[in-house]
Amino acid sequence: MPFDFSNQRVVVAGGSRGIGRSIALAFAAAGADVSICARGASTLDATAAELRRHGRRVHAAPCDLADAQAVAAYVGAAAAALGGIDVLINNASGFGMGDDEAGWAAGLSVDVMAMVRSSHAALPALLAGSGSSSIVHISSISGFGPSTRAPAYAAVKAAMMSYTRSQAAMLAPKGVRVNCIAPGSIEFAGGVWDQRRRAGDPLYERTLKGIPFGRMGTPEEIAEVALFLASPHARWVTGQVIGVDGGQLLGG
């Protein structure tokens, strides 16, 4: 069943590289008009140029997703540029790892509050949209359990999962579906796992050995699930957290 997002308006918060980039490109290839934001201007411009090759309407703007006013301004500008919003993807992460003030601040301000703020800002447009509007949050399998290596990261990803369910319950009567993807270890050029591999970090090989398929995942494999969750094929799916990890959690 092919995905057709013709005449759909998609906003990807954190969409210039890695998983966010692949999600934005996948929606554009399926016919959607797409808006992306990120802090880095160079990757933002490069991804916007890729999106425009699909011949769709494209909006791209720099945004610090830890800044409440910046989030509201970006979402408003995206809705104006696209003529509305049908799908909101929250993909950004502050990658706050340690159990210290900096780690918690990074995770709470970006992973959690950017998700909440962008959802609030987009809701009027989502309610006025096509009648099949949806929100997809990108969390992590780290949110499924405790972590001694990255306690703040695991906690904020768990918070995203919890909010997904609460938000889904609140918005179902209004016709908006809300779901969450929990990726496993995803490798792409310049990403965290690519950096660990290049640096010879033992954690890379340990993690790789724990994945039954013997490889890291790709951003495209997350994008395909995002398209499904936002499509009519998932019209009876809401409040779900879907692990996309190649069986990484099967080993415990």
CATH superfamily entry for domain 9-246: NAD(P)-binding Rossmann-like Domain (3.40.50.720)
What would the pLDDT profile of 14-69 be if each residue is shown by its tens digit? 999 999 999 999 999 999 999 999 998 889 999 999 999 998 899 999 999 999 99
pLDDT at 114: 97
Sheet bearing 241-244, strands edge to edge: 58-62, 33-38, 9-13, 87-90, 134-138, 177-183, 241-244
| % of the chain at pLDDT higher than 70 | 99
Task: Count helices and strands (H / E) in the chain.
Answer: 9, 7
C-alpha 231/C-alpha 55 separation (Å) is: 21
Burial of 101 (0-12, 13-18, 19+ CB in 10 A): exposed
41/8: higher pLDDT: 8
pLDDT at 222: 98
74, 153, 163, 204: which one is catalytic?
A: 153
Residue with the two structure tokens 């398929």: 213
State yes or no: pLDDT of 4 exceeds 70.
yes
Confidence of residue 86 (pLDDT cuts 50, 70, 90): very high
Residue type, position 85, single letter: I
pLDDT at 1: 55
What would the pLDDT profile of 176-187 be if each residue is shown by its tens digit? 999 999 999 999
Show the tokens assigned to 7. 């005449």
User: What's the mean pLDDT in 124-153?
Assistant: 94
How far lies 234's CA from each of 114, 131, 225, 230, 238, in Å?
25, 14, 10, 7, 8
Q: Is 163 a catalytic residue?
A: no
What would the pLDDT profile of 92-129 be if each residue is shown by its tens digit? 999 999 899 999 999 999 999 999 999 999 999 999 97
What would the pLDDT profile of 190-233 be if each residue is shown by its tens digit? 999 999 999 999 999 999 999 999 999 999 999 999 999 999 99
